[in-house]
Structure 1
Amino acid sequence: MLKRVFLGLFIAATIACSAAPRITDIDVPGSNNLKPDPRQSLVTKEIAELVTNLGYKKISLNDSLGSVIFNNYLKDLDGNKSYFLASDIKDFEQYRTTFDDDMKNGDLTAAFYMFNVYQKRYNERLQYSLKELQNKFDFTKPETYTYDREKLPYFKNIEESNQSWAKKVKYDYLNLKLSNQKDSVIKANLTKRYDNLLSQSKKINNQDAFQIIMTAFTSSIDPHTSYFNPANAANFNIDMARSLEGIGATLSSENDFVTIKSIVPGGPADKIKKLAIDDKIIGVAQGNEEFVDVVGWRLDNAIELIRGKKGTTVRLKILSKNQDLSATPKIISIVRDKIILEDQSVQKKIKSITKDGKTYNYGIIEIPAFYADWKAMQAGNPNYKSTTRDVKMILDSLKNENVDGVIIDLRGNGGGSLNEAIDLTGLFITKGPVVQVKDYRGKVEVDEDEDPSVSWSGPLAIMTDRFSASASEIFAGAIQDYGRGIIIGNTTYGKGTVQSAIAMKRIDSKFSDKDDQINLTMGKFYRINGNSTQHKGVIPDILFPTVFPADKYGESSEPSALPFDTIRSSNYTKVADLKPTIAELNVLHNQRMKTSKDYEYLLQDIQEFKKKDAETTLPLNEEELKKQRDEQEEKNLKRDNDLRKLRGLPPLKKGEAKPLKEENFDFIQNESMKIMTDYIADPKIAKK
């Protein structure tokens, strides 16, 4: 299995002090006047050391890279060029070639100054928007609003910015007007919206600024080296484990209130039956301690109080949806527990298709990510959560239900645990190599499935799309290389790099007070045939056209991405040579596509996406915008009803919602079942 790179490898040298830091006034009137703290300076220096000495991509932190970091930072702050003025950018240019030295020295003065200027401009635009709401709007003029400013220059001055933002407010107003809201209601709603954005802006702290600065830094090295501040690190690890310890409720921030948006079935909050959707949490207490008032708090800070270790008690002060702060809150106690996020875990369904009078049943397994609860596993919990364990249980149930084939749906699966990709492959092959990993020293290690047992030996298909990445590509590539199954869908993302999660507290004891981490690219993985998936991804055996072009979506669209290359092939034995079979399946698939209305609409969607993607403006003329929307709505309704007719469903009337119990038709999934049925049912194909 893949060996972990431990911090014993970390070179603990520090960067010698160079020139004295530039004197820059960070304080900017109209902003929160955020300043870096000493710990953030130390973290910056340590990360500069890590990416330089242990990163897979050998880089020199010089003026050239400093300029890239500078550009990325500007883009992360104001990529749409909606806030900064040209004079701001001119002022910032003095820092372009010093960002590299700043990162090495942990000098965040310039970066925080730029952030404070950004926040000042952000607040100014919202205050201006509130003022604009007092005006009367004329929606008969032939005006347009340019919403996509990415390729335009920064505003020349405040007057030009005002002109653009006046049109944005006008568009926001028109958007609500077309939904038949009264003027008084529109003004109230937009005032509330802009005020809420201003309120959220006031809650921005130096951790938020630092996260953006470090993201600009690490993304300049490669797209997947990432720093996570403590809040983001916690969320990342919850996502990997698909579990957390808390009350079992999803929370959001609405008008300064922490609000319950969903309750996890079977969780602590669900069991007590005392909480409802849209309830507002106004106070939090640990056990019998005093309550802390959380009205107006940042959501992540409130969540930190509400989450806690399994078995501990949290008390909440609750107001119902329609109560205000003058009402008497109810107080409830909840014993925290471990919450399994089942709705974000592997799911199964069984679907059927008929060919020549015979029905074929397929087990469809949707895998949203490659997750593993490492803490539970290391603690010896025999029921720890992981993708492979969940899929194995589903495969066992599908065998009992006598399905004819299994389809693994990896669409939208961005990856996760490398070990899970290896173990999952092992459910479908006896033994053998699954992936090759080259580390930052150039050493290649072959990671194998060492378990001879097979959970499913029958017909297998893997569905992919442009957003199937990383571990998804390892699994799909291995299945393809072994000839174990058929890959169907779109070419995958093309992420062929391996990250090691390094907790900052493991680097040095001076970081022990926080739970932040860096995910550092320290290796590159290769298929067992020697090809990298980097840039090129996995190309399906049955290829569908994609709505998302490679120049804008996928690894090949990332300027700092590592290149495609190859290494020696592993020593492995194919399960089968599927090339002749795939050729026959493609013939039958292409014949169906010639007369498929769904396929015709898919091609139309691709053209429509290209057209929309090229647009940058919207009309501010009420009649024109309404006409556009009515025509699009009519077109969509006609299309939906044409397809509903093909499926024997009654047509929908304008404005009528689809019945709640009616499942969305998945054309790609349906065609995958037809391809599998061709594979199983046609003796000419099956014997090849």
Structure 2
Amino acid sequence: MKIRYLLLSALLLLLGLLPVLASVREVPSEELQPSRSQRQSTLIILKVINEYHYKKQLLDDEMSRAILNRYLGVLDPNRSFFTQGDIDRFNVVSDQLDDDLKDARLDSAFNIFRVYRQRVDERVGYALKLLDRDYDFTINESYQFNREDAPWTADAAELNELWRKKVKSDILNLKLKEKPLDEIRDTLEKRYTGIQRRTRQMDTDDVFQVFINSYTLSLEPHTSYMSPRVSENFDISMRLSLEGIGAVLSSENEYTVVQRTVAGGPAALSGQVGAGDRIVGVGQGADGEIEDVIGWRLQDVVDLIRGAKGTTVRLQLLPEDEGSAGRTKQVTLVRNQIKLEDQAARKFIITDLGGIGNLRIGVIDVPAFYRDFQGYSQGQEDFTSTTRDVRRLINELETEGVDGIVIDLRGNGGGSLVEATELTGLFIPSGPVVQVKNASGDLDIERDPDPEQVYNGPLAVLVDRHSASASEIFAGAIQDYHRGIIIGEPTFGKGTVQTLVDLGRFVRYGDKNLGRLRLTMAQFFRVNGGSTQFKGVVPDIVYPSAVQSDDQGERSLENSLPWAKIAAVNYQVEGLGPLERYRQMHQLRIKEDPGFIYLSQVEAMLKEIKAEETVSLLEKDREIEWNQREQRRKAEKNRFLTAIGLDPEPDDVDEEAERAERADPAADRDDPVARIMLNEAAHILADYIGGQTRSAMVN
């Protein structure tokens, strides 16, 4: 399992909100010393974690080694700056960091960072000299671009050879994009010196935050420290009402990676930015220069992309389905305020699907669990609410005579727990919905607050690997009550609860501005006693695209809390009945279904790409690889389109027209690829309705 160093910004903030962490000046090495307030913060953080963190983890020598490994991994994730000799020297303190933390001694962490800064200076200086060389791209050699799990280089000579190949690969990447040599050298000089400049701008707060988070993230992935400056910027960001482009990011080796887009945000509405895409360049305005951001710190990339509502930003993306040396695309986005109404649930009816006869299947797409807490607190009767909207849509669908309803939660990353609980209540008579267990072992049970069952007809819930948190609470409750059929892929597996702790509240006198700790303090459990954590919700009928589910979501994160089980609560199971018959009907249907064949081929291609760790430095081979991958992708897509009676995609696709079409929230109703999973969910629900009808006739 590959390590993902998910920093706080990747877990909390929307792209376009978080400002840069580092100071704007280069910080002299002698200033990189731990401060008194940082030592005080260390003691408080350890106390808070020891008393209130959900996971009880000893801070011992084993944890000390994990902290050191993670710290080195955050500083040098691709193992391209430190040598094995450096690591051997650092390992002298590998069993000492636990005691250092307990005594608030931070000198070892700062000493390691100063060595790191020196190594960055050395490597950048060497890389700049390499740019002046002439390279022969007819030599058969390769470059290992993914060194996350590779051994550290033995010495400076081996590191020099690694950087020779890296620079050669970087030049070839840009050469294949038809950049002139002078422009290539200028781009790479800015890239390399930018790494050096940003490293030199990191101050004591930045170093402290990286080190402390190496400890917190060794506990589990969702506990993180925010320095005083980051805490202040976080508050400012939240007051901006989610103004930006609406994407959540993380760092992965040299790349800034899109974790997910936010429903209603410019990135999601464009239809051109998706989970797994890598941002390699950013440009301001309609024609501003694209600034290369490979190798940038996550916070700096976010700072470059953020901006005022109504302004334009251009992203150069390396799509998920392209290899590290693949072709990029450019996306133009207009920054905007992400409003609750932009995330509103919507409905439509499937009536013309072969194999369902005259049945009318209603679909309610729920992109997020949104709630206007301010409107609610002010006593507004019509405050915006997922449950309120879905209740209205159910009534409209029933008036229009649907035979069953599919709740589509694909891509729904969660939101309000209150809404997840109340939405579940629309489909069950009454009862508990989810259990919440805190670090002390105390249980709170969230219950359906309304005894009215708004809809009691045939129900299916469609989920995928990106359905998380509140989505998992809803889907899990519907499954436990046997109220509906859960269909799709195993969900994300985010079953923990976080809170922000102001460290200053533990200080009686002196400076109380010590930053905040995002703390995992509770875990969700379903009414059947099983957790939504780690495993997520496993559908009753699992789609074949779930074969890579172990590489997705919480299961792919190191140190994730494991699945657990507590006692079930009393709840009344509905009469859904056995589903094996419908599972078999589904499997027979998709065996020859062009859509699922296409999805399986796409998954296979993605798996191949993710498994790649090296790239050829032969220009002709690199070009062949590009062309073959593009031809294969297009051929598979066109085979699918032809099989369902549609015209294949033209070679000269109008990107602007496609972008305008995808900006329409209803566009995916007619998108044949987006409809593959949804149509099969409608088929499964139709099978169930037919089976129930036949059973009633027999009785």
TM-score (norm 1): 0.76
Correspondence list, 1:45-194, <5 A: 45-194=43-192
Structure 1 range deviating more: 224-233 or 75-84: 224-233
Q: Provide closer, same or farther for how the CA distance between residues 621 and 434 of structure 1 changes in structure 2, counting only shifts above 3 A.
A: same
For residues 128-149 of structure 1, give each alpha carbon's deviation from its aligned partner in whole angstroms, at most 9, with x where no partner exists: 3333222111110001010111
Aligned partners of 2:406 and 2:461 also within 8 Å: yes
Secondary structure of residue in 2 paired with 1:159: helix
From the superposition, tell whether residues 375 and 205 of structure 1 become closer, same or farther in structure 2 (CA, over 3 Å). Answer: farther
Pair 1:166–1:599, CA change in 2 (3 A): same
The amino acid across from 1:562 in the alignment is L
Q: Distance in 2 between matches of 1:373 and 1:175?
A: 47
The Cα of 1:572 is off from its aligned counterpart by: 0.8
1:494 Cα deviation (Å)? 3.1
Distance in 2, matches of 1:564 and 1:319, equals 43
The offset of 1:116, in angstroms, is 3.1
CA distance in 1, matches of 2:223, 2:559: 11
Offset of 1:606 from its aligned partner?
A: 4.0
Tell me by how many angstroms 1:484 deviates. Answer: 1.6
CA contact (8 A) 1:637 1:654 kept: no
Give yes or no for contact 2:340–2:370 (8 Å, CA) kept in 1: no
Q: 1:526 and 1:591 mapped to 2: Cα distance?
A: 34
Please tell me the residue identity of whatever aligns with 1:178.
L
| 1:434 aligned residue | 433
Q: Distance in 2 between matches of 1:512 and 1:156?
A: 46
Match of 1:411 in 2: 410
Give the deviation of 1:528 after TM superposition: 0.8
Change (3 A) 1:591 1:246: closer
- 1:406 is paired with a residue whose SS is strand
Q: Read off the aligned partner of 2:130 and give its amino acid letter.
A: E
Q: 8 Å contact 1:500–1:519 — kept in the other structure?
A: yes
Distance verdict in 2 for CA 1:132–1:525, change over 3 Å: same
SS in structure 1 opposite 2:534? Answer: coil
* Alpha-carbon distance change, 351 to 159 in structure 1, aligned in 2, over 3 angstroms: farther
SS at match of 1:97: coil
For residues 41-91 of structure 1, give each alpha carbon's deviation from its aligned partner in whole angstroms, at most 9, with x where no partner exists: 222211101111222222322222222222222222223212212222122
Give the alignment partner of residue 602 of structure 1, picking from 566, 583, 599. Answer: 599
Alignment match, 1:621: 618
Deviation at 1:452, TM superposition (A): 1.6
Q: Is the 8 A contact 1:32 1:119 kept in 2?
A: no
Contact 2:169/2:617, CA 8 A, preserved across alignment: yes
Residue 450 (structure 1) aligned with residue 449 (structure 2): yes
Structure possessing the higher relative contact order (Cα contacts under 8 Å, 6 or more residues apart): 2
Amino acid at match of 2:73: K
CA-to-aligned-CA distance 1:331-353 (integer Å, 9 cap, x gap): xxxxxxx9543587344352524
Deviates more, 1:541-550 or 1:30-39: 30-39
Q: Which amino acid aligns with 1:672?
A: A
- Pair 366,638 (structure 1): closer, same or farther in 2 beyond 3 Å: same
- The Cα shift of 1:604 comes to 3.3
CA drift of 1:195 comes to 4.2
- Which residue of structure 2 aligns with residue 562 of structure 1? 561
TM-score (norm 2): 0.75
Q: CA-to-partner distance for each residue in 1:287-345, whole Å, 9 max, x for gaps? A: xxxxxxxxxx96888999989xxxxxxxx9x9999xxxxxxxxxxxxxxxx95435873
Tell me, yes or no, if the aligned pair for 1:547 and 1:606 is still in contact at 8 Å: no
Partners of 2:677 and 2:568 in 1: how far apart? 32
Q: Which amino acid is the alignment partner of residue 496 of structure 1? A: G
Query: d(CA) in 2 for partners of 1:516 and 1:589?
Result: 53
1: CA distance, partners of 2:629 / 2:304: 42
Counterpart of 1:676 in structure 2 is 685
Report the secondary structure of 1:358's partner residue.
Answer: coil
Contact 1:499 1:520 survives alignment (8 Å): yes
CA distance in 2, matches of 1:304, 1:672: 38
Please identify, of 105-114 and 638-647, the stretch whose mean Cα deviation from structure 2 is larger.
Answer: 105-114
Determine the structure 1 residue equivalent to 2:461.
Answer: 462
Residue 672 of structure 1: how far off its partner (Å):
1.5
Measured after TM superposition, the shift of residue 503 of structure 1 is 2.9
The answer on whether the counterparts of 2:422 and 2:449 sit within 8 Å (CA) in structure 1 is no
Contact 2:81 2:123 in 1 (8 A): yes
Note closer, same or farther for the CA distance 1:499–1:541 as it changes in structure 2 (3 Å cut): same
SS of the residue 2:433 aligns to: strand
Q: Deviations over 1:452-494 (max 9, x none)?
A: 2344444332222234333322221101011121111112233
Write the distance in 2 (CA, Å) between the matches of 1:487 and 1:101.
48
Contact 1:203 1:298 in 2 (8 A): no
Q: Are 1:364 and 2:361 matched, yes or no?
A: no
Report the more deviating stretch, 428-437 or 518-527.
518-527
Judging changes above 3 Å, is the alpha-carbon distance between structure 1 residues 616 and 264 closer, same or farther for their aligned structure 2 residues? closer
> 2:191 corresponds to which letter in structure 1?
R
Question: Which of 237, 240, 244 is 1:245 aligned to?
Answer: 240
CA contact (8 A) 2:82 2:153 kept: yes
Matched AA of 1:363: V
**What is residue 220 of structure 2 aligned with on the other side?**
222
1:264/1:140 CA distance change after superposition, 3 Å = closer
Give how far 1:622 is off: 0.5
Structure 1 distance, partners of 2:472, 2:523, is 13
Give 1:595 deviation, angstroms.
0.8
State the 1:651 CA deviation.
Answer: 1.9
Structure 2 residue aligned with 1:584: 581
Between stretches 544-553 and 51-60, larger displacement belongs to 544-553
Q: Larger C-alpha radius of gyration, 1 or 2? A: 1
| CA displacement at 1:433 relative to structure 2 | 0.5
Q: In structure 2, what is the equivalent of residue 8 of structure 1?
A: none
The residue correspondences of 1:625-644 to structure 2 (distance < 5 A) are 625-644=622-641
Using the alignment, how far apart are the partners of 1:234 and 1:401 within structure 2?
50
Task: In structure 2, give the amino acid aligned to 1:177.
Answer: K
Q: 2:573 and 2:586 mapped to 1: Cα distance?
A: 25
Query: In the alignment, does 2:537 pair up with 1:542?
Result: no
CA contact (8 A) 1:33 1:116 kept: no
Distance 1:137 1:452 in 2: 74
CA 1:416/1:234 → structure 2, altered by over 3 Å: closer, same or farther? farther
Question: Unaligned regions of 5+ residues in structure 2, if any?
Answer: 1-25, 248-261, 267-283, 289-298, 315-335, 662-666
Return the alpha-carbon distance in structure 2 between the equivalents of residues 303 and 504 of structure 1: 30
Displacement of 1:519: 2.7
| Residues 36, 436 of structure 1: alpha-carbon distance in 2 compared, 3 angstrom cutoff | same
Contact in 1 for aligned 2:359/2:403 (Cα 8 Å): no
Shift of 1:626: 0.9
* Closer, same or farther: CA 429–509 of 1 in aligned 2, 3 Å: farther
RMSD value, Cα: 3.9
Match of 2:592, as an amino acid? T
> Is it true that 1:423 corresponds to 2:432 in the alignment?
no
Kindly, what percent of the aligned residue pairs are identical?
Answer: 37
Match of 2:487 in 1: 488
Q: Could you tell me how far apart the structure 2 residues matched to 1:528 and 1:674 are?
A: 29
The alignment covers a number of residue pairs equal to 595
**Alpha-carbon distance in structure 2 between the residues aligned to 1:403 and 1:45:** 60
Stretch moving more, 184-193 or 165-174: 184-193
The residue identity in structure 2 corresponding to 1:566 is: K
Q: What secondary structure sits across from 1:579 in the alignment? A: coil
Secondary structure (helix, strand or coil) at the match of 1:618 reads strand
Are the equivalent residues in 1 in contact too, given 2:499–2:519 (CA < 8 A)? yes
Give the Cα–Cα distance (whole angstroms) in 1 for the partners of residues 681 and 112 of structure 2. 51
| Cα displacement string for residues 247-272 of structure 1 (whole angstroms, at most 9, x for unaligned residues) | 945599xxxxxxxxx9989xxxxxxx
Q: Note if 1:34 corresponds to 2:32.
A: yes
Match 2:642 to one of 642, 645, 657: 645
CA separation in 2, counterparts of 1:197 and 1:251? 26
